[in-house]
Amino acid sequence: MGRDDSGDDDEATTPADKSELHYTLKNLSLKLDDLSTCNDLIAKHGAALQRSLTELDGLKIPSESGEKLKAVNERATLFRITSNAMINACRDFLELAEIHSRKWQRALQYEQEQRVHLEETIEQLAKQHNSLERAFRSAPGRPANPSKGFIEGSLLTPKGEDSEEDEDTEYFDAMEDSTSFITVITEAKEDRKAEGSTGTSSVDWSSADNVLDGASLVPKGSSKVKRRVRIPNKPNYSLNLWSIMKNCIGRELSRIPMPVNFNEPLSMLQRLTEDLEYHHLLDKAVHCTSSVEQMCLVAAFSVSSYSTTVHRIAKPFNPMLGETFELDRLDDMGLRSLCEQVSHHPPSAAHYVFSKHGWSLWQEITISSKFRGKYISIMPLGAIHLEFQASGNHYVWRKSTSTVHNIIVGNDPVRWTFDDCEPLLDHMIAVQLNVPARTVYFSKSVRLCWSCQCPQVTGVVSDSQGKAHYVLSGSWDEQMECSKVVHSSPSSPSSDGKQKTVYQTLSAKLLWKKYPLPENAENMYYFSELALTLNEHEEGVAPTDSRLRPDQRLMEKGCWDEANTEKQRLEEKQRLSRRRRLEACGPGSSCSSEEEKEADAYTPLWFEKRLDPLTGEMACVYKGGYWEAKEKQDWHMCPNIF
């Protein structure tokens, strides 16, 4: 999946290519001239040597010396013949290269044209497949999509299993459209006067300093347990992607028998747990007395989860059904996290986090991922809930769709979203007890371009009356800042008649900054410090824990061939278990599809399905019992999945 040296140009042979070819042929000619000169010198000196030997042969010398002289003469002759043969072979090679140079150019042009044609064909097949899928979903007799619900005046747009991007979706640069507001930084003294005259903010900025200022500077917890800081370097194995691509188009990635060459040695459950790397933002948010300040930190936390994806182009292992992953870090991180794979088709994971600092987070995320010929679409479906116990503030948001491009040819793989910024945080609802909701609004005109060139994110935190309190700015892969709004006013209309809001703000406060990657990260799958510890062996975990998965462990050690063999064994074992469950479900089941039958036949161990009162969707929530079982080391209820 590295860089393709042939490039992406449609033109087969550029002037630069021709110039390089002529330069190469010219060099070959010069080298041949040098060899010819050497041949002439060898022939001249060889002839002189033979004359000298002949003259010596005419002298009266002992018979023994005469035999030696004859042998020397024969060797000199053989040397001259060999030199002439070498020169003639070089001349023949140059002539052959000149004769066939045009033939090679035509062959190269044909291969490049075939490559472009194949890419276009694959893309067209992917579009046709997507059109057929949409036609099937819209056919008579198909159930209609669930109605959209409203909570506290903010629209939630659930994306179900049928939610997919259109194949004609355009990809915009983040800076292509201007934001719907303008920010002007003012001095603190001017702000006091402006704030007193306009009354635009009811929050004292000096009190906000205590919570928001330096929120990103919280040091990493010092663990009593010494954890590893490196893993074995990633082996340099090559793989021909074209050999398996014909079986991939339009299919779920979870249904494609992928070798571990495409993976990183972590499961999806562990990747989900990586969202907690910047948990200190939520620890800080617990102490906020103002909801708008708390919203700034929650927004920064939600954006920070994407920072761990920088350079991470490999896919995590699809968890086995019933696989779990725990993160028991009460001592250093102040939290306990548990994930369980609650469905295999479609792949769905339930997650629950409890923090001793006064917050809890839960989610059920279904990853829908499709190979579209030239790119991979990754669509996380499901809502993320965050609740602060002391205040009762409850936040709900959803993750954005993202894509990975250039996975076949061209530049290094790049990840970006094609959605507006709006789906990232505009659907974040603060449902508070007896307090009006606060919502983060991200400018609808801004596009999130998830490339390394344009990762900008901007937004405004407003109260329920629509009054702006903070402007958020930064990038999903580096840092987030907030600036307090002290005055707002409309700008003069532009040439197209549109107006922008001008926010007068104080200097920005740093909310969050990404931790630097560990040394040698480029050879360790670009793992962060937390990611390096997630697959470290720990005693006392459940027998279904991802750390005990054998193919993932073998891959981490660099034994990829053995890992592929073990991966096939585990997948076949899972297919056998699935067939047995479906057979036990019986032909008289009311389920209309194989996936519904599987969902009906399988019951998660630590989570249970409940109706989410905020989103109106069914979701798996933690029902308890895991940490009690760990304390007793009683795992008799766990299935044998490895």
Strand 315-317, strand 263-267: pairing:
parallel
**Average pLDDT over every residue of 402-430:** 44
| Integer Cα distance of 340 and 324 in angstroms | 4
Per-residue model confidence (pLDDT) at position 410: 47
CB of 403 closer than 8 Å to CB of 376 = yes
Residue type at 579? R
Instruction: Output the six-digit token pair for 415.
Output: 């990840």
Residue 203 has pLDDT above 60, yes or no: no
Residue type at 119? E
Share of the chain above pLDDT 90, in %: 32
Long-range contacts (CB closer than 8 Å, 24 or more residues apart) made by 232-241: 232/556, 232/557, 232/558, 233/520, 233/523, 233/524, 233/558, 234/523, 234/524, 234/525, 234/558, 235/558, 235/560, 237/261, 237/560, 241/1, 241/407, 241/408
Strand 402-405, strand 618-622: pairing:
unpaired
Residue bearing the bigger pLDDT, 415 or 218: 218
Task: Give kind and range of the element (H or E) at residue 97.
Answer: helix 63-137
The values of phi and psi at residue 171, to 5°, are -110, 120
pLDDT in tens, 318-339: 999 999 999 999 999 999 999 9
Per-residue model confidence (pLDDT) at position 104: 78
Give the SS3 label for residue 349. Answer: strand
Task: Return the minimum-mean-pLDDT range out of 386-390, 463-467, 618-622.
Answer: 463-467
**Average pLDDT over every residue of 560-582:** 89
Q: Name the band, by pLDDT with cuts 50, 70 and 90, for residue 459.
A: confident
**Average pLDDT over every residue of 500-523:** 91
Share of the chain above pLDDT 70, in %: 67
Per-residue model confidence (pLDDT) at position 109: 82
Q: Which residues pair with 429 in a beta bridge?
A: 396, 439
Give the SS3 label for residue 317. Answer: strand
**Average pLDDT over every residue of 359-365:** 96
| Integer Cα distance of 96 and 94 in angstroms | 5
Residue 132 has pLDDT above 50, yes or no: yes
Per-residue model confidence (pLDDT) at position 376: 74
Per-residue model confidence (pLDDT) at position 631: 96
**For residue 282, which of 337, 326, 324 has the smallest C-alpha distance?**
337
**Average pLDDT over every residue of 495-499:** 70
Per-residue model confidence (pLDDT) at position 240: 58
Give the SS3 label for residue 544. Answer: coil
Per-residue model confidence (pLDDT) at position 567: 92
Residue 178 has pLDDT above 50, yes or no: no
Per-residue model confidence (pLDDT) at position 361: 97
What is the rounded end-to-end Cα distance, in angstroms, of the chain? 30
Residue 147 has pLDDT above 50, yes or no: no
Return all residues near 231 (Cβ < 8 A) that are at least 6 apart.
Answer: 265, 524, 527, 532, 535, 556
Residue 604 has pLDDT above 90, yes or no: yes
Residue 217 has pLDDT above 70, yes or no: no
Residue 638 has pLDDT above 70, yes or no: yes
Residue 154 has pLDDT above 50, yes or no: no
Q: Please give the DSSP secondary-structure letter assigned to residue 215.
A: G
Per-residue model confidence (pLDDT) at position 537: 94
Supply the pTM of this predicted model.
0.66
Instruction: Output the six-digit token pair for 630.
Output: 């760990």
Per-residue model confidence (pLDDT) at position 313: 80
| Integer Cα distance of 345 and 254 in angstroms | 8
Per-residue model confidence (pLDDT) at position 281: 96
Q: In degrees, to the nearest 5, what angle opens at C-alpha 552 toward C-alphas 548 and 553?
A: 65
| Integer Cα distance of 405 and 465 in angstroms | 41
Residue 588 has pLDDT above 70, yes or no: no
Which of 93-107, 165-179, 193-207, 376-390 is the most confident on average? 376-390
Q: Name the band, by pLDDT with cuts 50, 70 and 90, for residue 426.
A: very low
Residue 437 has pLDDT above 50, yes or no: no
Q: Name the band, by pLDDT with cuts 50, 70 and 90, for residue 220.
A: low
CB of 560 closer than 8 Å to CB of 235 = yes
Residue 632 has pLDDT above 90, yes or no: yes
Residue bearing the bigger pLDDT, 543 or 205: 543
Residue 425 has pLDDT above 70, yes or no: no
Which alpha helices (DSSP H) does 226-367 contain, by range? 242-245, 268-273, 280-285, 291-304
Return all residues near 512 (Cβ < 8 A) that are at least 6 apart.
Answer: 215, 216, 278, 281, 300, 301, 303, 304, 474, 479, 480
CB of 418 closer than 8 Å to CB of 171 = yes
pLDDT in tens, 2-38: 444 434 444 445 566 667 767 777 777 777 777 777 7
Instruction: Output the six-digit token pair for 429.
Output: 């609802």
Per-residue model confidence (pLDDT) at position 499: 74
**For residue 374, which of 476, 245, 495, 466 has the smallest C-alpha distance?**
245
Q: Which residues pair with 74 in a beta bridge?
A: none
Residue type at 146? P
CB of 551 closer than 8 Å to CB of 545 = no
Residue position matching structure tokens 């979706």: 169
Residue 216 has pLDDT above 80, yes or no: no
**Average pLDDT over every residue of 73-80:** 76
Which of 73-82, 187-196, 272-281 is the most confident on average? 272-281
**Average pLDDT over every residue of 337-346:** 92
Instruction: Output the six-digit token pair for 420.
Output: 């507006």
Per-residue model confidence (pLDDT) at position 536: 96
Per-residue model confidence (pLDDT) at position 2: 40
